[in-house]
Amino acid sequence: MGYFLETLRGFRGSLSKSTKVRRTDHLASAGPSTLRFETLEPRELLAVTTAVQSGNWHDANTWSNGVPSQTSRAIVSQGTTVTLNGTNHVADKIVVHGQLVAAEGAVNSPNKTLAADWIHVNSGGVFQIGTAANPYDNHGFILTLTGTNPNADHTIETASGTMQISDNDGFLMTAMGGRLQFFGEEKLSFTKLATTAPQNSASIIVENVIERNFDGSTSANSDGTLNWEVGDQIVIASSSNDYADEEVRTITGISVASNRTTLTLNSPLNHRHYGEIEYYRNGELSIDMRAEVALLNRSITIQGTQDTDSSFGNRANYGTGSGKNLGIGAHTMIMPGSGQITIEGTRFDKMGQTGKLGRYPVHWHVAGNRAGDILRNSSITNSNNRGVTVHGTQGLLLEANVLHDIHGHGVFMEDAAEFDNQFLSNIVFGIHRVGGSGGNANDPFIVPGITRGSDGKVNGEAPRNGNGEGSHDTGQQVTQRFLSSASYWITNPDNTWVGNIAAGSEGTGFWFILPDRVLGLSKDTGLYNGMNPGTMRLGVFDNNTSHSSPVGLTFDRGADIRGGGSVGYTPTQRATFNNYTGYKHNGTAVYHRGSNVTFDGSMFADVRTGSFNTFQQIERNILFVGHSQGNATLSQDVGGYKLYDGPGEIIGAHFAGFAEANAYTFVNTGGAHKHAMPRASGITFEDDGTAGHLSVGIVQDFVNNTPVNAAGRPDAISGIVLDVDGSLTGHAGGGAGHVLTPKINFYRDSTDLTPAGWNAYISDDRFGYLQLDTISGAGDFPFFDVRNGDDHRLRVNRRNITRQRLYTKLNAGDYTFTFTESVPTEGFTVKMDVMRGQESGDYSVYRFKGVGTDYKPTSGASQTSLQDLRNATSNAYFRDAGGDLWMKVFESGATIQIRPTNDPLPSDDPEIEGLFLVAADLEGDPDISALTEGMVINLTTLPTPNLNVRANANAETGSVGFNLSGPSPHTQTESVLPYALFGDAGGDFHSETMLPGKYTLVVTPYTLSGLGGTAGESVTINFTVIEPVQLPFNELTEDQTVQDGTIIRAEEFDEGGQGVAYFDTTPGNSGTGNDARRDEDVDLHAGSIFVNSTVDGEWLEFTRDVVAGVYDINVNAWSNNPTAKGIRLLIAGSALSDTFTELGSVEIPDTDDVRLDHLIPGIDLTAWAGED
């Protein structure tokens, strides 16, 4: 099959009647084309009659070769007007260059008819039926297009030559300035029930006026009023999940009463149809669930001759046998270069050609900017192939149209180059599924995609069962999320959608299927290079409704029609979908894949899932109704917010109708990510039992969701909600910061709540999102059991994709993993993330049983004890003696690899791994230092004299015995961490002051508590406690009162020892050549003694009496190091003072071992005169 694409716009010159223009390619591009001139075969000029003057159709004088007949082509030439004045008009084919006008008869006169294989309007011609000022409404006009050969080729006359159309028949087509001007009777397109219509009722009551344009007022002037008549054909929408519960009837009686009208029907109803607006939260919120009633007939009818159905969507007439047909209905094509198109009050019936690319009831074909074109208040019924197609076209207005009984998509966009169009108050019923994956892959109703040649241009059709570019019927199908076919198939978001209704589909209501580039013939134009519909801004999407289909509104699978690329909708500018209504969906009302989208004011009722969103959507002011007040099927599961990849946000939601056991306020499902903690705030509940039955439902068949024996895929069991402000859980003992979890024990501990009547727990802990994967990411991660800190088990024995995903509490308890399948030889990866609601320092501790024997992490700090691991402030791990790998993983989203290792494990005996001196009366009981052999503990220099000693032991240690001998002896048995020499109270260390003297501490670990079981090797530490007093040196060589001429010798520093009288960075006196102060740590060197090996920060103190005066002070020093250095001189008010005043300083240059005096002049010591 080929497309014909208008190429003669702007052509100058003339072509004879014996010349034709043939397209030399199969599927044309929308750019400039090459024309080839050929001799026209004489047979194509036979049986043609041309209008030679204006006049009536049936007047022979109007025509060059007599009145048109079934065997003659009629050409309405430029400058002539042919009036369809009779009742029945017929031609083989019709070409319009002038005006073809349907005259209207008197009221209730017989319908006028016109029949031809096809009609082509070009060269500025006009096909006119009625006018805007005088609609065609006295009687009907019926155009029947009888062509049924989809492989036919046609030569079409233009005012300046001819053009060729191939593989086409039964068309109404415009090109080269050709116009359609159809103005049928102005009747209201649809209304809604005013009251519920019971089954077997022979009448219905409908509203005269309903809100249709959502302009802020509801009135006859603004929204129109009911004006139907006896004999009109109507369809009443389904009020159930089944789209086929709609009903077509004929009006046999009308009774108007005030603002409502009773319509008597030609036969009783087979189904109940709901007619109520339901109100919630004391009338503040509402959801309109009134069944729509739409008008099918119009005063103008364009029709084909083949319908594949004998009744609603059954395809009973399809086939090649006797009485069968292949669904070659008529079709309408508005080609590029057409004149202005207005179609109002027109019905298109038995249109569309089954499985044929480009052969749709109403079709703007790669038409570009069509601002001013209108399709309004019309209907498309009994279509073999889709409904209204907007293909590579912008600027259209489609308003108040009715689509019913359609095979394939209803309102259909094709190339993703469709933007700046307006879709207002349209309604679509009866969308029958075409294609899809699985058993329907060879469905003959599938419209093929396209293929491209080596030049990158469109060159043909793809196989019917393939996913070639542009195939819109063969993509992935998931019943709960996206399912063919769609009432509205949307490939570009930059359009206006207001007040549209998807009133019943075998697939989806509104499907945003957005590729990451423009497709098809539109791509070939080069006009849309760089356009990415998957990230484009949203035009307007307000006050639209879907019901009675598996899925309501969905965003996914753009890659399926492009043959690759992105799949969802993540606009660069936040998109807001306002006041969407979805009810009676046995799948999902709204499914959105992507980010940066807000749903505001949505209303859901009687749906398996209300909202089903990936990643970080925001939902505001949502009404979730589980079982509705008057239209619920109480045996059916219903759900509110589905917990998927996340984490999304719900702000200001109201829940109602969730009191039954099969009503789930939140619904859990598996997912590719399952980020933790979607957030909820501003939540309210209807006073109908909903607040007493909050539920996190797990309704999938691949899990065991019993609280104690939960098993299956962890991602399908993982679903939690963070209560931001307490509105979700506060009424049952929770509050801000609490978390709603599934009723699975693995997600709870002893501090969590189990509210009566709830199918959920309330936790006071937040959760992180743990992912476990193979190194390559391409293999199946092994199954395992995992237990939380309270020993509640989750058995993982199902997979989703490759990695496993589950939630673990933050900062609370250890998680122990026991693999039930072999650990991959190359190891595995661990990643923990929070994404939303995280706090600084969030972590979880994971223990992988037996893994530490042969594996260890490639990042994080290795720890020598479990206690050290718990004390770590960044990612860390510990391999215990039993072969278990412990990991403390901090929230970051970073991937940690666990890889094979040959490093040995620590011993499995109880072991003391370290002793630490603790400042026991300071905040947090900080460590002072490790306690080591021979250590001198100077009480004078410590931050506190109140001390304790902590023993760090390995995981095999069950208790520790302490035995301290010395001036302050003590024994202690410790069986609970922390193990402390002087004990503790719940981790708060007790303190003791040890008297000065020499001590020996023996610390022994045991395998059992109370010093039971096997003893490990004892650790013995000898240390000394001192509390020195600072005094002047007692062997001064002369009176050391500071006065003129006083010499202060280096070796005569005060007594008191390290940290009191001096500070030296190295133990012991390393000086030689003298016997001065050998028991001190100051380095005194040579016979004429000086302090050697000084480093930055070392100091000496000298206590002396001072005589008032101003002094020059010489410092005798030298250096053989070129690095800058110096000496500072400080003074304190007394020997007991800790506050010093700097008197001066001197820089010591490199003197190459030559001792020199360095002057600090003019030092006034008057303020410090006196003793000490």
CA distance 495 to 426: 14
CATH fold for the domain made of 912-1026 = Immunoglobulin-like (2.60.40)
Return the exposure string of 91-111: e unless at least 16 CB atoms fall within 10 Å of the residue's CB, then b: bbbbbbbbbbbbebeeeeeee
Query: Measured between alpha carbons, how far is 1080 from 519 in angstroms, rounded to an integer?
Result: 88
Distance between CA 1101 and CA 705 in Å, rounded? 75
Question: What are the Cα distances from residue 1129, in Å, to 18, 1033, 1055, 1102?
Answer: 118, 19, 19, 11
Please name which of 1021, 1016, 897 lies closest in space to residue 950, comparing C-alpha atoms: 1021
Determine the average pLDDT of the residues in 464-486: 82
CA distance 449 to 464: 7
CA distance 394 to 518: 14
- How confident is the model at residue 469, as a pLDDT? 80
Please classify residue 945 by burial: count the beta carbons closer than 10 Å to its beta carbon, then call 0-12 exposed, 13-18 middle and 19+ buried.
middle
Q: Specify the amino acid at residue 712.
A: G
DSSP state letter for 222: H
DSSP 110: P
What per-residue confidence (pLDDT) applies to 456? 87
**Residue 436: both structure tokens together:** 């899809």
Percentages helix, strand, coil for the chain (3-state, rounded to 5) are: 5, 40, 55
| pLDDT value at 43 more than 70 | no
Shared fold status for 190-293 and 912-1026 = no
- Tell me the DSSP string of 660-726: STTEEEEEE---S---S--EEES-EE-TTTGGG--BEEE--TTEE--SSS-EE-HHHH---EEESSS
CATH 1.10.3290 assigned to 190-293 = no
- pLDDT over 50 (residue 9): no
Rounded to the nearest integer, the mean pLDDT of the chain is 90
Question: CA–CA distance from 373 to each of 118, 351, 365, 379, 393 (Å)?
Answer: 22, 21, 13, 17, 11
Query: pLDDT band for position 1167 (50/70/90)?
Result: confident
Give per-residue pLDDT as tens, 243-275. 999 999 999 999 999 899 999 999 999 999 999
What is the pLDDT averaged over residues 197-207?
A: 98
- Residue carrying structure tokens 């259209």: 396
d(CA 660, CA 891): 38
Of all residues in the chain, the percent with pLDDT exceeding 70 is 94
Inter-residue contact 139 to 111 (CB < 8 Å): yes
Tokens 């056991």 sit at which residue?
Answer: 661
The predicted-structure confidence for 54-74, as pLDDT tens digits, reads as follows 999 999 999 999 999 999 999
The three-state (H, E, C) secondary structure of 901-941, written as one string = CCCCCCCCCCCEEEEEEEECCCCCCCEEEECCCCEEEECCC
Average pLDDT over residues 570-596: 96
Do 343 and 375 meet the contact criterion of CB atoms below 8 Å apart? yes
Distance, in Å, from the CA atom of 964 to the CA atom of 953, rounded to the nearest integer, reads 18
Backbone angles phi, psi at 322, to 5 degrees: -60, 130
Domain ranges of the chain: 1-29+76-183+298-441+484-573, 190-293, 767-900, 912-1026, 1050-1168
Q: Is the pLDDT of residue 608 over 80?
A: yes
Q: How confident is the model at residue 1053 (pLDDT cuts 50, 70, 90)?
A: confident
3-state secondary structure of 869: helix
Give residue 389's pLDDT band: very low, low, confident or very high (50, 70, 90): very high
User: pTM for the whole thing?
Assistant: 0.77
Asked if the bond preceding 978 is cis, omega within 30° of 0, the reply is yes
| Number of residues that make up the chain | 1172
Cα torsion at 742, 746, 752, 757 (round to 10°)? 40
Render pLDDT for 946-970 as a digit per residue (tens, 0 to 9). Answer: 999 999 998 889 999 999 999 999 9
Residues 1155-1158: contacts with CB within 8 Å, 24+ apart? 1155/1090, 1155/1116, 1155/1117, 1155/1118, 1156/1116, 1156/1117, 1156/1118, 1157/1114, 1157/1115, 1157/1116, 1158/1114, 1158/1115, 1158/1116, 1158/1117, 1158/1127
SS3 sequence, 538-556?
A: CCEEECCEEECCCEEEEEC
d(CA 436, CA 923): 67
In this predicted model, what pLDDT tens digit does every residue of 1029-1043 receive, in sequence order? 878 888 877 777 888
Of 561-565, 821-825, 862-866, the poorest mean pLDDT is in 561-565
Task: Give CA–CA dist 98/78, Å, rounded.
Answer: 4
Q: Which two tokens stand for residue 80?
A: 């002539």
Q: Is 138 helix (H, G, I), strand (E, B) or coil?
A: coil
Among residues 380, 490, 354, the alpha carbon closest in space to that of 434 is found at 354
Averaged pLDDT, 126-153: 97
Q: Where are the alpha helices (DSSP H) in 1077-1151?
A: none
Three-state DSSP at 1035 gives coil
Chain-centroid distance of CA 861 in Å reads: 35
Is 50 exceeded by the pLDDT of residue 473?
yes
Which of 15-24, 776-785, 960-969, 1106-1115 holds the top average pLDDT? 960-969
Cα separation, 400 vs 402, in Å, equals 7
Cα diameter, the chain = 151
Helix (H, G, I), strand (E, B) or coil at 273: strand
Question: Tens digit of pLDDT for each residue in 1101-1126?
Answer: 888 889 999 999 888 887 777 776 88
Distance CA 617, CA 593 (A): 9
Using CA of residue 1091, residue 1095, residue 1100, residue 1106, what is the dihedral sign? positive
CB atoms within 10 A of CB 12: 5
Rounded to the nearest angstrom, the gap between the alpha carbon of residue 1014 and the centroid of all alpha carbons in its chain is 56
Reported as a pLDDT band with limits 50, 70 and 90, residue 30 is very low
What single-letter amino acid sits at 957? T
CATH number corresponding to 1050-1168: 2.60.120
The answer to whether 824 and 892 are in contact (CB under 8 A) is no
pLDDT digits (tens, 9 = 90+) for 1082-1106: 988 887 788 888 888 888 888 888 9
What is the rounded distance in angstroms from the CA atom of residue 397 to the CA atom of residue 721?
43
Q: What is the pLDDT of residues 761-771, one digit of tens each?
A: 999 999 999 99
What is the spatial distance between Cα 768 and Cα 779, in angstroms, rounded to a whole number? 24
CA 742 to chain centre: 21
